Structure 1
Amino acid sequence: MSGGGGPARVSGGAAPALVAGGSGSEHSASGAVWERGGLGLSEPSAGVAVPPTGDRAVVAELVGVRVEGRLVVPRLEVRQGERVLVTGHNGAGKSTLMQVLAGELVPSSGTVRLPEPARVGHLRQHEWLARPYETVLGAYAYGREGAAEEYVEELLSLGLFRPADLMVQVADLSYGQRRRVELARLVTAPVDLLLLDEPTNHFSPALVEQLEEALTVFQGALVVVTHDRRMRAGFAGTRLELSEGQVVRR
């Protein structure tokens, strides 16, 4: 998988004191601080060279984040256009990290900073079946401007479906096919941060390659959790390893 170079930044040491909440800040009952805005996110201009990763806007930042018994992250920054692969054994805290980055899990303590508005796409490890009675094409186009038929070429260009698949109802799809519908929507959505938790579950080797090709069209920051050997072997970007909820290597 090709992608933006440069590392996600993770630093060790003691967790810093929580920052005071200002405009756009939210304090949870647990003591965690959520901050939205102030990260200077901007869209790249057409025809302008993409700056080095260190010069790009931060799309997510964790400082002193702790989820009791599950995750400890002293500091992590993910920048615009970055590719990050998260590895570790089952129960290492990978899915917990993804939930925190997605804003779906409030940590026990620490600070989570996201841009305002936070445009985050999250493919969860466990399936969520949405709009089961739509066709594949209808489910892909749902909520987007124009008629579903206008999205046929776009969807087929991702290589995840054949033309004959587009009129099949989502409820009649296999698990892997339903995952493909979600993936297709996510990689073509205008999000700044895309989180993929085990995206290749129930995928054949050929489909893994097609997923990697589909991801090349995504220009935002990407964080992937996967045990797939082919995907891990071809990954170009930062590698972050978790063990027992702790960052052990990057």
Structure 2
Amino acid sequence: EMTFLIVDTPSPYNAIVGRPGLNLMEAIVSTRHLLMKYPTRFGVGEARGDQQVARQCYKTAILEKGNDKVLPIANVELRGDVEPEHPQPIEDVIQVPLAEGDTERVFQVGSQLGEVEKGELITFLQNNKYVFAWSAEEVPRISPNVMVHKLSVDPMRPPTRQKKRNFSPERQQTIAEEVSKLLQVGFIREVHYSDWLANPILVKKANGKWRMCINFTDLNKACPKDHFPLPKIDLLVDTT
């Protein structure tokens, strides 16, 4: 038996069956063939998917009376006046330098560890210090022979060039510093005559500094949605 939760709200879907339900149905799902098979009293049942219908359902879900929901994100404040609570260690910690005389690159080791365990841990961390990145310049790059990320952009969607947004002198300086930093470490490169243009967005962090983001709203709309996302860890645990 399967228990369903009935919700009194408009929805483009008749029912949503989670992975625990699929497990109870003994269903086999093939994302490549957009097909699900499950045993019934009369044989093997089939449920076929349709990307166009799924995309239409998604568009219906995000539309309200035929109009797109526009969320203002130009001056969004994620935290407001609420100071977030940061986790604190339950014991005092000892600052251990990565190398002798280096006061900037330090490890934190619990003070309640035994002398033997503490010595072994410090030795292990210092012997494997090459796996830690203390700055953006030290982040290793992944060879294209190992992994390449590409955007699946709808070829029927024309490129969008957002209009240039004006910022205050303080924000302009922050943007220039962040862009210069990313160029220096090779995370981005300069491109002339780009088809897609997006404005940066600055969000105030808890420490008073600015975090630079990019408004990829138009680009996200041009990328097909993944109708079979990766499962959540709690669902994987529940179905095992």
Q: Over alpha carbons, which structure has the higher Rg?
A: 2
In the superposition, the TM-score normalised over structure 1's length comes to 0.20
- Structure 1 or 2: larger strand share? 1
Q: TM-score, normalised by structure 2?
A: 0.20
Identify which of structures 1 and 2 has the higher relative contact order when contacts are C-alpha pairs closer than 8 Å and 6+ apart: 1
